[in-house]
């Protein structure tokens, strides 16, 4: 009797580009989209591929099925195992070049389409994106301390900056699960939409971003990222340095011409 082919990490991280928007889908619904070691590598490669592709001006990261991502599964085994297991975790875990860390250095805007719930590593992955669109039935579960670990991929850095120290401390220390309406009220997500509209809404936002000058969008993201750790005077200086090459770009001339001619701009990313 023939057996079904074994699923590879490539099958578990899907990638497509349409209308200048790359959609990366975590595709392991039978395991709540927990991410195995090979999937970490595949997801990182896809993120870097999209960031280096001049035809990609925005990325959407989502999951298949009912979950966005229920966490890490470094053993490649059962649902929500790995760091979510009661067993001892790996002692040689290196997260420097894994998706949430890589996300922080990307110039291309990233949108998380939270099609379903995210827990642990999945929550950090979502928080690492620039913008989050959340399904109305999804949840964010900060279950780290309840499993004997810390937010390992940026959560302790991102949450205090998004929410302030007190609220971030409350969520992390208690390991609390947040419903969609609370996530929207706190500002953790930009919009809560019906579950069946989550990916389409994120892709539409990606197309809206893609309609603007990509060099200017990317420079704006770099400046926002740098500004989080700079004085105002240093930041103004760096913004000026970013403006100089933009003034020399074809897109700047096209942007000015389209404004004067009252037409839609056709940006080339040059």
How do residues 23-49 score in pLDDT, each as one tens digit? 999 999 999 999 888 888 899 999 999
Our count of domains for the chain comes to 2
Structural contact between residues 188 and 178, judged by C-beta atoms closer than 8 angstroms: yes
Among 42-56, 82-96, 123-137, 170-184, whose mean pLDDT is lowest?
82-96
Determine, yes or no, domain membership for 267.
no
Query: For the whole model, what pTM was predicted?
Result: 0.85
Structural contact between residues 195 and 136, judged by C-beta atoms closer than 8 angstroms: yes
The verdict on 32 and 126 lying in the same domain is yes
5-9 own/partner pairs: CB under 8 Å, 24+ apart: 8/38, 9/36, 9/38, 9/39, 9/41, 9/42
Structural contact between residues 71 and 64, judged by C-beta atoms closer than 8 angstroms: no
| Domain final residue pick, 210, 230, 249 | 210
Closest CA to 198 of 142, 141, 137: 137
Range of the domain at 241: 214-260
The verdict on 97 and 60 lying in the same domain is yes
Residue 191 has pLDDT above 70, yes or no: yes
The verdict on 133 and 153 lying in the same domain is yes
The verdict on 16 and 99 lying in the same domain is yes
pLDDT of residue 1: 39
Mean pLDDT of the chain: 85
For range 145-150, the mean pLDDT: 70
Q: Model confidence at 229, in pLDDT bands (50, 70, 90)? A: confident
CA angle 168, 155, 231 (to 5 degrees): 80
The verdict on 122 and 220 lying in the same domain is no
3-state class percentages of the chain: helix first, strand second, coil last, to nearest 5: 45, 15, 35
C-alpha dihedral sign at 63, 64, 68, 69: negative
pLDDT of residue 2: 38
pLDDT of residue 205: 97
59 φ, ψ (degrees, to nearest 5): -120, 145
The verdict on 162 and 226 lying in the same domain is no
Calpha distance 102→110 (Å, rounded): 12
Determine, yes or no, domain membership for 171.
yes
For the CA atoms of 94, 33, 64, 189, what is the dihedral angle to 10 degrees? -70
Residue 86 has pLDDT above 90, yes or no: no
The verdict on 105 and 228 lying in the same domain is no
Residue 102 has pLDDT above 90, yes or no: no
The verdict on 154 and 30 lying in the same domain is yes
The verdict on 222 and 103 lying in the same domain is no
Determine, yes or no, domain membership for 265.
no
Among 14-28, 95-109, 164-178, 197-211, whose mean pLDDT is lowest?
95-109
**Structure-block tokens of residue 6:** 């074994």
- Could you count the other beta carbons within 10 Å of the beta carbon of residue 248? 9
Determine, yes or no, domain membership for 266.
no
């Amino acid at each position: 009797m023939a057996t079904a082919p074994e699923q590879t990490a490539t099958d578990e991280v899907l990638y497509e580009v349409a209308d200048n928007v790359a959609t990366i889908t975590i595709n392991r619904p039978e395991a709540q989209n927990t991410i195995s070691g090979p999937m970490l590598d595949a997801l990182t490669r896809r993120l870097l591929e999209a960031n280096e592709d001049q035809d990609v001006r925005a990325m959407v990261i989502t999951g298949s099925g009912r979950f966005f991502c229920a966490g890490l599964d470094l053993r490649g085994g059962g649902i929500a195992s790995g760091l979510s297991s009661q067993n001892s975790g790996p002692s040689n875990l290196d997260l420097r070049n894994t998706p949430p860390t890589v996300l922080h250095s990307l110039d291309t805007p990233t949108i998380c389409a939270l099609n379903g719930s995210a827990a642990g590593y999945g929550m950090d992955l979502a928080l690492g994106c620039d913008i989050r669109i959340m399904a109305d039935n999804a949840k964010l579960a900060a279950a780290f301390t309840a499993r004997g670990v810390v937010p390992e991929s940026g959560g302790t850095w991102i949450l205090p900056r998004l929410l302030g120290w007190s609220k971030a401390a409350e969520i992390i220390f208690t390991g609390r699960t947040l419903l969609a309406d609370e996530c929207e009220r706190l500002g953790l997500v930009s919009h809560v939409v019906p579950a069946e509209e989550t990916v389409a809404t994120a892709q539409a936002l990606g197309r809206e971003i893609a309609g603007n000058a990509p060099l200017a969008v990317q420079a704006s993201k770099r400046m926002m990222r740098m500004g989080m750790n700079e004085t105002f005077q240093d930041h103004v200086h760096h913004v000026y340095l970013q403006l100089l090459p933009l003034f020399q770009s074809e897109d700047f001339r096209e942007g000015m011409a389209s404004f004067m001619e009252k037409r839609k701009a056709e940006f080339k990313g040059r």
